Amino acid sequence: MKVVVTGGAGFIGSNLCARLLDEGHNVLCVDNLLTGSEQNISPLRGHPQFTFLHHDVTQPFSFEADAIFHMASPASPVGYMEHPIETILVNSQGTYQMLEQARKQKAMFLFSSTSEAYGDPLVHPQREDYWGNVNPIGPRACYDESKRLGETLTMEFCRQYGINARIVRIFNTYGPNSQTDDGRMIPNFITQALQNEPLTVYGDGNKTRSICYVNDLVEGLMLAIFQPHTAGEVFNLGNTEERTVLEFAHMIIRLCNSSSSIIFEPSRIDDPERRRPDISKVQKVLGWQLKINMEEGLRQTIEWFRSHSNRLSDVSEPVRTSN
C-alpha cells in the first residue's frame, strides 16, 4: 500500500515508518522538522520504499495514498508550550487538509489524538466515552483543545462524507527515538540518571502515569487502521500499569545503576493528577495485547539512550516547562 505518515520524523512517527516498511508498504514521511529529527529517519533513508518530504502539512501538497496516519504535532508539554500556534494549526488546519485528501483519494485515515483530550480527568481510569475535564485557556489548551477539535473534524468527515477514519488517543509512550531534550518524564529521568545528576520531580511526586513501550503502541496503530470495521471508532492506546512519578524516578535510578539523587521542583500548571487508560475496548475490538513489560522496555530504552549519548542534552540545565 501507499502509506503517508505525517510527523514521520517524530518519536512515534519514525517508529511507525520503520514498521510499515518492514510490512512491505511504500512510505511517504512528511515532516517540517519542528520537533521531529532527521536523525530518527536516517536509518530509513536508503530504503527503496521510503521517501521523505520536508513540508508543513498545514499547507496543501499533492500525494497519492491508500492510508494516511496523521501523527504530526508537537506532543510533549515543553514542545507544545514552545510552539502553541503551530500546535493549534497542525491539529486543526493540518487535520482538515489530510481529511480532505483522505476523502478525495478514498484513503484510510487515522488521527493521532491524545490522553490530554481527557485533561485532568475526574474519572479514573479513562474510558473512550469519558468527555474529559479540560481547561480551555490554560497553557496546555493549545494541545488539548486542538486535539479535541481534530477529533471533531475527523468524526464530522465520517458522518458527512462516510470516509474511512478513526481516532486513537495515545497515552504516555516511551522508547527509542524519544526526543532527548523535550522535557518529558522518561527522557529527562534517563538523561539525568545516566549522567548521575539529580532527577527533577515536579511537585511531590505523587502524580501518576502509565507508560507504554513504543513498539506496542505502533502495533496498536497498525491494528486500528488496517483492521476492518474500525471506521468511526475512537480507541485508547496505552499501558494500564499505573505508577507515581516518584516510583518511576526510583525505578530509573535503579535500572541505570545510577548514583543520582532526587530533587523536588514546583508543580507544573494544569499537570494532570492521575492518568491510566481503560483499554478493554482495544483489547476486545482489535485484539491488541501489550507484549513488553515495563522493566524490559525501560532497559531497552536506557540502552538506546546510552548508545545515542551524542543526543543527550546538558542536564546541568534540565529542560523545564515554563509556567
List, by residue number, the catalytic residues.
143
Q: Where are the alpha helices (DSSP H) in the chain?
A: 11-22, 38-41, 77-82, 84-105, 141-161, 185-194, 214-226, 245-255, 280-286, 294-307
Tell me, residue by residue from 49 to 68, as one string, x for binding to ligand UDP by CB under 6 A and - for no binding: --------------------
| Sign of the dihedral defined by the CA atoms of residues 266, 268, 273, 274, in that order | negative
Q: Which residue carries 520536508 as its cell?
A: 54
193 binds ligand UDP (CB under 6 A): no
Contact window for ligand UDP (CB under 6 A) among 10-18, 26-34, 197-205, 290-298: 197-205
Q: Where are the alpha helices (DSSP H) in 25-83?
A: 38-41, 77-82
SS3 319: coil
The number of angstroms, rounded, from the C-alpha of 311 to the middle of its chain's C-alpha atoms is 19
- For residue 201, state whether it binds ligand UDP (rule: CB under 6 A): yes
Q: Which is nearer to ligand UDP, 188 or 236 (CB)?
A: 188
In the bound complex, what is the minimum distance in angstroms from residue 10's beta carbon to ligand UDP? Answer: 15
Is residue 172 within the footprint of ligand UDP (CB under 6 A)?
Answer: yes
Contacts of residue 180, defined as CB under 8 A and 6 or more positions apart, other chains included, come to 187, 191, 305, 308, 311, 312, 313
Q: Which region, judged by CB under 6 A, interacts with ligand UDP, from 27-35, 123-131, 178-186, 309-317?
A: 178-186
- Residue 200 binds ligand UDP, judged by CB under 6 A: yes
Q: Which of 68, 49, 63, 53 is nearest to 9 (CA)?
A: 53
**174 sits near ligand UDP (criterion: CB under 6 A):** no
Residue 69, classed as helix, strand or coil, is strand
Binding segment toward ligand UDP, per CB under 6 A, in 57-65, 158-166, 194-202, 220-228: 194-202
Question: Which of 83, 166, 268, 276 is close enough to bind ligand UDP by CB under 6 A?
Answer: 268
- Taking the least distance from each CB to ligand UDP, the nearer of 19 and 320 is 320
Instruction: Tell me how far, at minimum, the Cβ of 240 lies from ligand UDP, in Å.
Output: 15
Contacts of 179 (CB under 8 A, 6+ apart): 10, 11, 35, 37, 76, 79, 187
Measured between alpha carbons, how far is residue 319 from residues 118, 234, 289 in Å?
A: 25, 33, 33
Minimum distance between the CB of residue 200 and ligand UDP, rounded to whole angstroms?
A: 4
Q: Which of residues 65-104 bind ligand UDP (CB under 6 A)?
A: 76-77
- Taking the least distance from each CB to ligand UDP, the nearer of 97 and 112 is 112
| Cβ proximity of 194 and 302 under 8 Å | yes
- Residue pair 128/235 in contact by the 8 Å Cβ criterion: yes
Q: Give the nearer residue to ligand UDP in terms of CB position, either 225 or 319.
A: 319
Which residue ranges make up the site for ligand UDP (CB under 6 A)?
76-77, 172, 183-185, 188, 200-202, 207, 209, 245, 268, 271
